[in-house]
Amino acid sequence: MALPQLSIWQPGDGLRKIKYKYHVCLIVIFSVLIRLLFLTDRYLWCDEASSVLISRHSVDNLLFHAAFDVHPPLYYLLLHDWMILWGDSIAAVRSLSLLFGILTVVLVIALTRWLANERTALLAGWFAALMPMAVHYSQETRMYALMGMLTLAAALALMMWIKTPTHNRYLVAYALLMTFSFYTHYFTLFT
């Protein structure tokens, strides 16, 4: 009579997990490098300059000016605080969107791994790291990279709540992330 197996651990699991984490780190490093490439090669264009000008105001004035803008104020408020910390150079103001773009790549990997498997997650991560439009919006001082990151995080929270409906924290996270996304861009209504 054979003894029951006490562990679901399989030989090679540790190595597979290390290789997966190594590949995820490689994708993230690559996405940072490709987004840094040409980050400051061009001047701020009109909409980017508008974002910087609105964000330079005090919070009260920022909210007043944002009321006349076609976009909600969350990105401007974040950029305002970012500029207090890092300044208003082209590299500084664009690096906020760069951060959101990199976090989006990480979220793509996490969501895909959760829905499929590690191999598919790595492939999706490479696509997200290389996708020209994602790279472009990660290099632009506008709210689009933030909106993408927030809606992707909300999708992950929603999927986790659907899988475990007794964990209401995922539903609360989904509602908060969608609210933040709505305060970033009104197109969130269509997601």
In angstroms, how far is CA 129 from the centroid of its own chain?
Answer: 12
pLDDT in tens, the chain (191 residues): 454 444 444 555 677 888 999 999 999 999 999 999 999 999 999 999 999 999 999 999 999 998 898 999 999 999 999 999 999 999 999 999 999 999 999 999 999 999 999 999 999 999 999 999 999 999 999 999 999 999 999 999 999 999 998 999 999 999 999 999 999 999 988 87
Domain borders along the chain are 21-35+45-190
Whether the Cβ atoms of residue 118 and residue 164 lie closer than 8 Å to each other: no
Amino acid, single-letter form, for residue 179: T
> 56 vs 50, 80, 119, CA distance in Å?
10, 6, 44
Look up residue 172 and give its two tokens: 């609360």
15-33 tens-digit pLDDT? 788 899 999 999 999 999 9
Cα-Cα end-to-end distance for the chain: 56
pTM of the model: 0.89
Look up residue 121 and give its two tokens: 């997650």
53-71 tens-digit pLDDT? 999 999 999 999 988 989 9
For residue 76, which of 59, 89, 100, 95 has the smallest C-alpha distance? 59
